[in-house]
Structure 1
Amino acid sequence: MVQAWYMDDSAEDQRRPHRLDPDQPVTVQQLSELGVHSYKLDADNYESDPELAKIRKENNYTWMDIITIHKDTLPNYEQKLKIFYEEHLHLDDEIRYILEGSGYFDVRDKEERWIRIFMQKGDMITLPAGIYHRFTLDENNYVKAMRLFVGEPIWTPYNRPAENFDARTKYLQFLEQKA
């Protein structure tokens, strides 16, 4: 399963772990209370993995593609990394499955504190529509990930503040129900 922890507020390289001292781990249950879910799958056999097929069918993830984030494969690499790291939300769930490499998704908790989620080969995560988040590579500077969507993909990020969207309102209502 994914590892997660509360982040420090250091301005050093975003690709570093940014753990607090002392460390403050975050459990899978705590992530679930934020609407964030994770799975551990067999990335070596993703094309024929029955568990992935089951997840896709149950959640109606009908569209997928694969992206490789590395300076040699992604056009406008440095610019894209900056965009991915801007705090934003989406109007649909964000589903990512790491096939190779590793990176971090950061999400806000109920008190607006950053939680860093480390993802590596075999980890799949779903971030609910309306949650503020961002992504960065780790110090290995490489990830190959599957992107999944319900229906046609919608890529639009809405940078913070984006409180006026229905997805954000619904997400905040979800958090209130968990309180």
Structure 2
Amino acid sequence: MRAYYFDNLPGDVRLPHDSKRSVPIETLTKINVLFWNVPVDIEGGWRKRIDELSAENDFKCNDTIDVTKEGLGDQYETMLEEFFHEHLHEDDEIRYVVEGAGYYDVREHPTDEWIRIHLGPGDLIAIPKGIYHRFMLDEQDRIYGLRLWRDIPNWTPVLRTKESDSNQYRVKYLESLKGTAASASSQGWAEWFSSLVTFRH
């Protein structure tokens, strides 16, 4: 994983768009975007580790994602356009990359700058409900991995508008960033990711 500020220059959004302004993991943590690495191995042990992790943390379900021209067929370009529209979700977005690579762009608060996060095999990211973000493949044009959910799957995007700023999940997200005391959701993130330590070895 590598994070930096998006350069906002025109051009193919599959390119890095690296402003050369790096973003430390502490900055991501402050906006409740968390990351870890669960190594991918050729024996498929990653799947067992993810399943064990899900059971320990009461994740209700997961499924595979295959964002490729072959996997999405005629919907490929349309789906990528939808992924790249700025939006929020009313559920936590938790993704694990097995093959390929891609970018999550997340809005930093309160600057509203785009932070670009480049993910590759073994990277696990948790994007909190209520944060504005978008997704795009990199130049490899492929990503395969898992989507994980705490509850019933809900991946319906809420596009950014004036109305979305008052969305209850957006409001709760912003409230969670205030003060020095961690919110309940932030504590949940921390507890969940601390359990990942055992999966690094």
The question of whether the paired residues in 1 share the 8 Å contact of 2:99 and 2:145 is answered with yes
> Gapped runs of 5+ residues in structure 1?
none
Aligned length: 174
Give the deviation of 1:100 after TM superposition.
0.4
Matched, 1:34 2:36: no
Partner of 1:138: 138
Cα distance in 2 for residues equivalent to 1:126 and 1:84: 16
Aligned-residue CA RMSD in angstroms? Answer: 1.5
Deviates more, 1:167-176 or 1:96-105: 167-176
Partner of 2:185: none
Give the deviation of 1:53 after TM superposition.
4.0
Partner of 1:19: 18
The question of whether the paired residues in 2 share the 8 Å contact of 1:15 and 1:136 is answered with yes
Change (3 A) 1:11 1:58: farther
Corresponding letter in the other structure for 1:13: D
Partner of 2:148: 148
What secondary structure is seen at the aligned counterpart in 2 of 1:47? Answer: helix
Matched, 1:65 2:49: no
Give the deviation of 1:12 after TM superposition.
0.4
Matched, 1:122 2:122: yes
The question of whether the paired residues in 1 share the 8 Å contact of 2:101 and 2:119 is answered with yes
Cα distance in 1 for residues equivalent to 2:34 and 2:55: 16
TM-score normalised over the length of structure 2:
0.82
Change (3 A) 1:119 1:94: same
> Gapped runs of 5+ residues in structure 2?
182-201
Give the deviation of 1:28 after TM superposition.
1.1
The question of whether the paired residues in 2 share the 8 Å contact of 1:31 and 1:37 is answered with yes
TM-score normalised over the length of structure 1:
0.92
Matched, 1:9 2:5: no
Partner of 1:81: 80
Give the deviation of 1:178 after TM superposition.
5.2
Give the deviation of 1:57 after TM superposition.
3.6
The question of whether the paired residues in 1 share the 8 Å contact of 2:91 and 2:155 is answered with no
Cα distance in 2 for residues equivalent to 1:103 and 1:82: 14
The question of whether the paired residues in 1 share the 8 Å contact of 2:95 and 2:125 is answered with yes
Cα distance in 2 for residues equivalent to 1:129 and 1:39: 18
Change (3 A) 1:80 1:178: farther
Cα distance in 2 for residues equivalent to 1:59 and 1:47: 15
Identity of aligned residues (%): 39
Cα distance in 1 for residues equivalent to 2:130 and 2:58: 19
Cα distance in 2 for residues equivalent to 1:59 and 1:17: 34
Matched, 1:163 2:183: no
Structure that is richer in helix per residue: 2
Partner of 1:101: 100
Deviations 1:133-165 (A, max 9, x none): 000000010100200001220121000021121
The question of whether the paired residues in 1 share the 8 Å contact of 2:59 and 2:151 is answered with yes
